[in-house]
Chains A and B, each alone.
Chain A
Amino acid sequence: MSLQFVVDGLLTGSMIGLGAIGVTLTYSILRFSNFAHGDFMAWGTYATLAVVGAIAAMFGKVAPIAPLSFGWPLIVALVVGAAFTALLALLLDKVLFSRLRKQEQAIIAVMGSFGASMALRSLLEFIFTSRPTYFSRAIQIAMPVGFGIRITPDQIALLLLTAALVLGVHLLATRTQTGRSMQAMSQNPALARIAGIDVASVVRVTWVIGAALACVAGVMIGVLVQIRPLMGFDMLLPMFAAAILGGIGSIPGAVLGGLIIGLAEAGAVQLIGAEWRAAVSFVILMAVLIVRPIGLFGVRER
């Protein structure tokens, strides 16, 4: 048996986990399930792709940073793309979600996000067509690292990036005043206001973090797999499964949930058959909801 599925699973899990952080934060702080989160991923990826194209037009062909498949343009573009995605989320909140969140029932905001998701996706197909595209068409040679596992330099770089981002967000959430304000908002929004926390600024930070990480996750998919308008929407179920598995509101939980789902999916492909891949996150999601509805790191409400 090859252990290759471990690397594949960790990579898929990283993408799911980075996306699930945004899902879990939106759910615990803004109190609705944002179905448009996957489309933030896709939009961030296409924005990054557009910036890469613009840089290529300005500076010509830039040699990749050996042994990676990409050079500095992608890194710069990722930062710009993440900023763009954050602005997109803030804009969408201003024109749509902030109004819907004022309604009594959370389902209104959820349905609104579903509509936004479809609109965003169609707009991407309209602008970029639904044909898959790539950051680079170069083929990378995977290095054998023992136990029958092969890994490419890109994959190593992206795993490290994920680890750094998760650590950074975790420290932000637990060690800074901004993070404590976010926790306070998710635990008791009324008291948060009384304690002098500006709800509007916490909401903005939440969108910025979630959207920026969604963009990074999308670009990871773009680098390792391909770029399609549906790329984010297809990640929606695994992301929600990861957020619920880890416990809503928990950032480490979302990442761990993502890794578990990623590994389970990759394991299923190798051990059962590729057609079962998508079913695995469903099965895990249902099993968690039955056995431990609050998730691994979840906390019971009072």
Chain B
Amino acid sequence: MSETVLDVSDLEAGYEPGVPIVRGASITVNKGEIVVVLGPNGAGKSSLIKAIAGLVPISRGKVLLDGKDISTAPAHTMVRLGLAFVPQTENIFPRMSVEDNLKVACGILERRQAPARIDEMYAAFPDLLRQRRTPAGNLSGGQRQMLAVARALIVHPKVLVLDEPSAGLSPKFVSMVFEMLSAIRKSGVTILLVEQNAKAALAIGDRAYVLVEGKERHEGAASTLWDDPVVAELYLGQRPLRKDSARHTETGGAA
């Protein structure tokens, strides 16, 4: 087995004290993998990765990044520790140019390194180079996502964490985003992502977890997970695991 980059164990987290949304979730991400977290609406997928990124208070459990506990680290120190997070929405600075969006993320790099890293990002995402002077708020949905990912990648993270990168995009851009992530993985970056678009995510992923009611209920290879009847049951919520899970699968709520 390859080495573990991210090791989340028995994580409990939520916005309000005493109201956990993530309830004892454990997942691992190995070096070079794409790991996908799936689950019905309201399962706590987004809260799980926001907790990992330091944005949702953790009440129990550990998040180890390369063996180091980062569960109490403030959000702004995460990139320095090697964890780069791409939020689902509002993931760019709209009134700054594309180039300034990239530059502002270089704050933790040495000054001399920044121009080379920005050039690398332009080489990887030529669309951004063409639009470098454009205010980021004027970019198309797909290009925004590109910029958000480039902003996160620019610091050479140990793990790239994305919250529903395909949400709200038109079908053309959805496939573009997944191709982009696949290419990023090939360049050696480890990726953890949460997705609603299960089929497309599993197509590029190595392993996947199904999260239900804030806890992982199933884990497997991405290639076989889609056909697994247990997953269909958990994910589609056809037959609730416990009585009280029905309302989560039916009513959804904030993910």
Contact = CB atoms under 8 A, between A and B. Distances in A.
A190 B90 contact: yes
A177 B103 contact: yes
Given A187-B95, A188-B90, A191-B90, 19 more contacts: A177-B107, A183-B100, A183-B104, A184-B96, A184-B104, A190-B90, A191-B87, A191-B92, A192-B93, A193-B55, A193-B76, A194-B53, A194-B55, A195-B79, A195-B105, A196-B78, A196-B108, A198-B76, A302-B94
Q: Is the interface of A mostly helix, strand, loop or mixed?
A: helix
Interface in A222-242: none
A271 B92 CA distance: 49
Contact of A187 (B53, B80, B96, B151): B96
Nearest to A299: B95
Given A188-B90, A302-B137, A195 B96 contact: no
B95 A196 contact: no
Interface of B: 53, 55, 74-80, 85, 87, 90-96, 100, 103-108, 137, 151, 155
A187 B93 CA distance: 6
Interface in A268-302: 299, 302
B107 A181 contact: yes
B252 to A, nearest CB: 23
Contacts of A180: 96, 100, 103-104
Contacts of B137: 302
Contacts of A205: none
Contacts of A191: 87, 90-93
Contacts of A159: none
A124 interface: no
Interface of A: 177, 180-181, 183-184, 187-188, 190-199, 299, 302
B30 to A, nearest CB: 24
A282 to B, nearest CB: 29
Nearest to B105: A195
Contacts of A187: 93-96
Contacts of B151: 195
11 contacts: A177-B106, A183-B104, A184-B104, A187-B94, A188-B92, A190-B87, A191-B92, A194-B87, A195-B107, A196-B76, A197-B104
Nearest to B106: A177
A177 B151 CA distance: 15
Nearest to B80: A196
Contacts of B78: 194, 196
A188 B151 CA distance: 14
Contacts of A188: 90, 92-94
Contacts of A181: 104, 107
Nearest to A200: B76
Nearest to B155: A196
A197 B87 contact: no
Nearest to B137: A302
Contacts of A183: 93, 95-96, 100, 104
Contacts of A196: 76-80, 105, 107-108, 155
A190 B85 CA distance: 12
A188 B93 CA distance: 6
Contacts of B106: 177
Contacts of B104: 177, 180-181, 183-184, 195, 197
Contacts of B53: 194
